[in-house]
Amino acid sequence: MSLQVELLENSFKGIQPYADNFINSFAKNLFAAYPQVKPLFENTNIPIQKKKFLGFLVLVVNNLRQPDVLDKVLRGLGARNVKYGVLPEHYPLLGSSLLATFEEYLGDSWTPEIRQSWVDVYGIVSQIMLDGAEYSEAEIALPTPEPEPIEEETKAPELQVELLERSFEAIKPNADSFVNSFYKNLFAAYPEAKPLFDTTDMGAQKKKLLNSLVLVVENLRKPDVLDQALRGLGARHVKYGALPEHYPLVGNALLITFKQYLGASWTPEIRQAWIDAYGVISQIMLDGADYSEAEIALSDSAPETVEEEAKAPSLQIELLERSFEAIKPNADYFVNSFYKNLFAAYPEVKPLFKTTDMEVLKKKLLNSLVLVVENLRMPDVLEQELKDLGTRYVKYGALPKHYPLVGNALLITFKQYLGASWTPEIRQAWIDAYGVISQIMLDGADYSEAEIALPNMVSV
């Protein structure tokens, strides 16, 4: 697309006299609309970060007429950002907050043309930065205190096995308390992770985590054994809603808990040893995972062993049709309850709907459900409709991580309305159907662009 350079330059000049206030408002808007990003900045010097962001905007605008220069700088910036926990889904949040702040400061001068020019340039800037990033590593890298340039990145670090063993030995006498504190720290720092565990036996989950830590430390000197065990663990995790962006959250909570229990023994060397180890462990687990399917799998309970994984299941069409027929007389109530359940279980998705006409959206959801059920016996027709639907979704901020949340809210709502008729067989029929539907929709989506597209209005 051709950028409207003059519109961008003139509109940026309009906010330059208030640059410091503009950046303060941007940060305020970002944290108000998307509180889930706050933890990324908890160890950051915010005034310095604000100056860096202002410098970034100046860099972009000043080089709009020198695309080769801008391209090179943005690729380097994208590569550095990923080492600090910046993931593709953060780009739309920053972009939306930037638009909101421009609107606030430009007032009547914020025309549809200027808005579109900033939407276009942010899309291009984000794409170039993502092209410069390597997310196979970045999505599992632990964010460190403050983003600053890191020029070198080569092979995986050599693990400090003795430091890891000695520090873990020190917490073993308090292992149960350590694991309790880990989950307390995880949920305190990242409350958005809580819904992943809402149907989990936490007593059993804590034992599993402790066993996983023991497994890792006891096999640090047997890399082949550890590699195989971690790949299997990674493959099992993805069936329960574990996504790449969850790994940094778990890693940071682990560091916090080690610091809490080791006290003065928590030296910079030991901290770095655990950062390096967690990076390697996470990479191996992600190598064992298949996120083309995992990002749309319904999270059912805590991670447990899943032995089977083969072709897509054969759908139980009669069960699906009969159960949907039962809720049709209360269809409007059903859809109202669905959104109530979605926002109650996953409040972090609310900002995606803040500019949406919810009544129109509810009708669209109901129509989508009808479309699916009425075409279950016409798979060719259904496949094309779902691919088109998936393509449209990505233009409105829908990411793979949102699919499990929607699916779980749908299951909760069916259970609520079907009551005693919500049998294990019907539940499984909807899980299978939702998995197939989601996969087809994702096949119709292009997430190389969608993960950085500005969310505008949610569409179903």
Asked whether residue 149 is domain-assigned, the answer is: no
- Residue 297's nearest CA partner among 440, 414, 194, 404 is 404
Between residues 135 and 129, the one the model is more confident about: 129
Q: What is the structure's pLDDT at 135? A: 41
User: How many whole angstroms separate alpha carbon 315 and alpha carbon 428?
Assistant: 10
- For residues 323 and 441, membership in a common domain is answered with yes
- For residues 338 and 270, membership in a common domain is answered with no
User: How many whole angstroms separate alpha carbon 189 and alpha carbon 249?
Assistant: 8
Q: What is the structure's pLDDT at 47? A: 82
- Please identify, among 83, 106, 138, the residue that sits at the C-terminal boundary of a domain: 138
- For residues 269 and 328, membership in a common domain is answered with no
> If pLDDT is split at 50, 70 and 90, which confidence band does 170 have?
very high
- For residues 86 and 209, membership in a common domain is answered with no
- For residues 285 and 173, membership in a common domain is answered with yes
Question: Which pLDDT tens digit goes with each residue over 301-331?
Answer: 333 333 333 344 578 899 999 999 999 999 8
Asked whether residue 403 is domain-assigned, the answer is: yes
| Sequence-distant (≥ 6) Cβ neighbours of residue 282 within 8 angstroms | 140, 247, 251
Asked whether residue 304 is domain-assigned, the answer is: no
Asked whether residue 108 is domain-assigned, the answer is: yes
Asked whether residue 105 is domain-assigned, the answer is: yes
Q: What is the structure's pLDDT at 399? A: 66
Return the HEC string of 152-210: CCCCCCCCCHHHHHHHHHHHHHHHHHHHHHHHHHHHHHCHHHHHHHCCCCHHHHHHHHH
User: How many whole angstroms separate alpha carbon 315 and alpha carbon 431?
Assistant: 10
- Residue 144's nearest CA partner among 276, 262, 29 is 276
- For residues 240 and 286, membership in a common domain is answered with yes
Q: Is the pLDDT of residue 44 over 60?
A: yes
Q: What is the structure's pLDDT at 313? A: 57
Exposure class string for 342-370: b at 16+ Cβ within 10 A, else e: beeebebbebbbeeeeeeebbebbbeebe
Rg (CA), the chain: 24
User: How many whole angstroms separate alpha carbon 209 and alpha carbon 179?
Assistant: 7
- For residues 422 and 357, membership in a common domain is answered with yes
User: How many whole angstroms separate alpha carbon 283 and alpha carbon 110?
Assistant: 44
- For residues 128 and 10, membership in a common domain is answered with yes
Q: What is the structure's pLDDT at 105? A: 92
User: How many whole angstroms separate alpha carbon 460 and alpha carbon 458?
Assistant: 7
How many domains, the chain? Answer: 3
Q: What is the structure's pLDDT at 249? A: 78
CATH of the domain at 288: 1.10.490.10
> If pLDDT is split at 50, 70 and 90, which confidence band does 181 have?
very high
Q: What is the structure's pLDDT at 293? A: 38
- For residues 91 and 180, membership in a common domain is answered with no
> If pLDDT is split at 50, 70 and 90, which confidence band does 338 have?
very high
The whole-angstrom distance between residue 42's C-alpha and the CA centroid of its chain comes to 18
Question: Which pLDDT tens digit goes with each residue over 222-260?
Answer: 777 777 777 767 666 654 556 666 777 788 888 899 999
Query: Is 301 strand, coil or helix?
Result: coil
Asked whether residue 310 is domain-assigned, the answer is: no
Q: What is the structure's pLDDT at 414? A: 93
| Sequence-distant (≥ 6) Cβ neighbours of residue 380 within 8 angstroms | none
> If pLDDT is split at 50, 70 and 90, which confidence band does 136 have?
very low
Q: Is the pLDDT of residue 144 over 80?
A: no
Q: What is the structure's pLDDT at 140? A: 31
Asked whether residue 273 is domain-assigned, the answer is: yes
Among 18-27, 108-117, 202-211, 264-273, the minimum mean pLDDT is found in 202-211
User: How many whole angstroms separate alpha carbon 12 and alpha carbon 8?
Assistant: 6
Terminal alpha carbon distance of the chain = 26
- Residue 37's nearest CA partner among 249, 334, 223 is 249
What is the average pLDDT across 275-302?
59
Question: Which pLDDT tens digit goes with each residue over 407-456?
Answer: 888 989 999 999 999 998 999 888 888 888 887 887 776 544 343 334 44
Q: For residue 278, what are its two tokens?
A: 């967690």
User: How many whole angstroms separate alpha carbon 9 and alpha carbon 367?
Assistant: 44
Asked whether residue 185 is domain-assigned, the answer is: yes
What is the average pLDDT across 145-168?
62
- For residues 244 and 178, membership in a common domain is answered with yes
- For residues 326 and 388, membership in a common domain is answered with yes
- For residues 367 and 419, membership in a common domain is answered with yes
Range of the structural domain that residue 206 is part of: 161-294
- Please identify, among 138, 173, 194, the residue that sits at the C-terminal boundary of a domain: 138
Q: Is the pLDDT of residue 264 over 70?
A: yes
